Amino acid sequence: MTIADTSSSARPDHTVFSRIGRAFRQVPFSVGFGIVWLAGMVLVAIFADQIRPYGITAMDLRSRLALPGTFPHVLGTDELGRDVLSRLIQSIRMSLVIAFGATIISAVFGTTLGFLAAKFRGVVEHLVLVLADFQAALPFLIMSIAILAFFGSSMSLLIVLMGFYGWERYARIARGLAISASAQGYAASVVQLGATPMRVYLKHILPNVASTLIVSMTLTFPEIILMESGLSFLGLGVQPPETSLGNMVGFGREYLTRAPWIMLAPSLVIMLTTLSISLVGDWLRDKLDPTLR
């Protein structure tokens, strides 16, 4: 998708400015936008407490359903007079924390299972593959809804649940790559030198397959954001008084006619964030792993 501009004639100027300029020009505009937006979101999530103008449950009963663009509520207020901007900032933090946590859990969990399958083969491998088949056979949304139905929704359950999202993808990739890596000279030679399996897998095989795994993480991350916001939208994810992006859209839906801004602000953030991640992810994929498309 990214187009490298190779046609421009290479002029021999070596000033610092031109080199910086060229480095910038190599990043397409859309990717640059994605990076800036994501950096902004991360900053908002980290400094949420400092930049939030009001508390997320603070009600301003005299200005309920206030229009956006009015002082003192820049993005307006909701049905209880709560500041939409403040809730949006808190929601960004919540959704990003869940997505980051879950992406890391699922990458570690899936990669570990994949490596175990590659190491022990036989029964262990079959077990992992059957589990992966099972995970692929049951759409994740339906599985999460069922689990939340049986256990009731709670914050820790939600993060653990999201941490299972996409593990089977890492497991399959890690298993395949580890099997082909152990057939290569470098893995065999460290085994010959007496390295423990732990050392072989973590110090030698993992660094060699890391780029592919990182690429899958950029695919999983936006999907987890969408999954969590979908569940929260249905009222099964993050529970009030806490708030997440999907949660805000869900509540905003009730006021679609009278106050569409409650729903539009978080929707826009969800769209731009997933868009940025997939733009940057595509670009990273081209840079890190030319074999993948």
Partner 1 sequence: MMVRFILTRLFRAFITILAVITFAFVVLRMSGDPAQVMLGPDAPNETVLAFRATWGLDQPIWVQYAAYIKSIFSGDFGVSMRDKASAIHLVIERIPATLQLTIPALLLKLAIGIPAGVYAALHRQSIIDRGVIFGAVLGFTIPSFVMGLLLVLLFSIILGVLPSGGQDTWQHGILPTLTMAIGGIGILARFSRSAMIEVMGQPFIRTASAKGLKWKDVVWSHALPNAAVPIVTIVGFMVGSLIAGAVVVESIFSWPGIGRLLVVSVTNRDLAVVQCILLVVAATMVVSNLVVDLLYGWLDPRLRSQSAH
Q: Based on CB atoms, which residue is closest to partner 1, 68 or 206?
A: 68
254 binds partner 1 (CB under 8 A): no
138 binds partner 1 (CB under 8 A): yes
Q: How far is CA 26 from the centre of its chain?
A: 25
160 binds partner 1 (CB under 8 A): no
Distance of CA 147 to CAs 75, 108, 231, Å?
36, 22, 12
278 binds partner 1 (CB under 8 A): yes
Q: Based on CB atoms, which residue is closest to partner 1, 208 or 267?
A: 267
Q: Based on CB atoms, which residue is closest to partner 1, 38 or 58?
A: 38
Alpha helices (runs of H) in the chain, residue ranges in sequence order = 16-26, 29-46, 48-51, 84-120, 122-137, 140-151, 155-162, 167-182, 185-192, 197-199, 206-233, 245-253, 261-288
Three-class DSSP category at 196: coil
Q: Which of 18, 46, 67, 134 binds partner 1 (CB under 8 A)?
A: 134
How far apart are alpha carbons 114 and 107 in whole angstroms? 10
Q: Which of 45, 181, 236, 259 binds partner 1 (CB under 8 A)?
A: 236
Q: Please name the residue that has the structure tokens 């399958």.
A: 117
How far apart are alpha carbons 182 and 199 in whole angstroms? 13
* Cβ atoms 64, 38 nearer than 8 A: no
141 binds partner 1 (CB under 8 A): yes
Partners of 82 in the β-ladder: 59
149 binds partner 1 (CB under 8 A): yes
Q: Based on CB atoms, which residue is closest to partner 1, 92 or 205?
A: 92
Q: Which of 67, 133, 180, 292 binds partner 1 (CB under 8 A)?
A: 133
- Choices 20-28, 155-163, 207-215, 223-231; region in contact with partner 1 by CB under 8 A: 223-231
* Cβ atoms 87, 248 nearer than 8 A: yes
**Number of residues in contact with partner 1, rule: CB under 8 A?**
44
CB of 260 to partner 1, least distance (A): 6
Q: Which of 25, 203, 253, 287 binds partner 1 (CB under 8 A)?
A: 253
Identify whether 28 is preceded by a cis peptide bond (ω within 30 of 0): no
Residue 201 DSSP label: I
Partners of 77 in the β-ladder: 83
Q: Which of 98, 226, 238, 280 binds partner 1 (CB under 8 A)?
A: 226
Q: What residues make contact with partner 1 under the rule CB under 8 A?
A: 1, 130-131, 133-134, 137-143, 145-151, 222, 226, 229-230, 233-236, 246, 249-250, 252-253, 256-257, 260, 263, 267, 270-271, 274-275, 278-279, 293
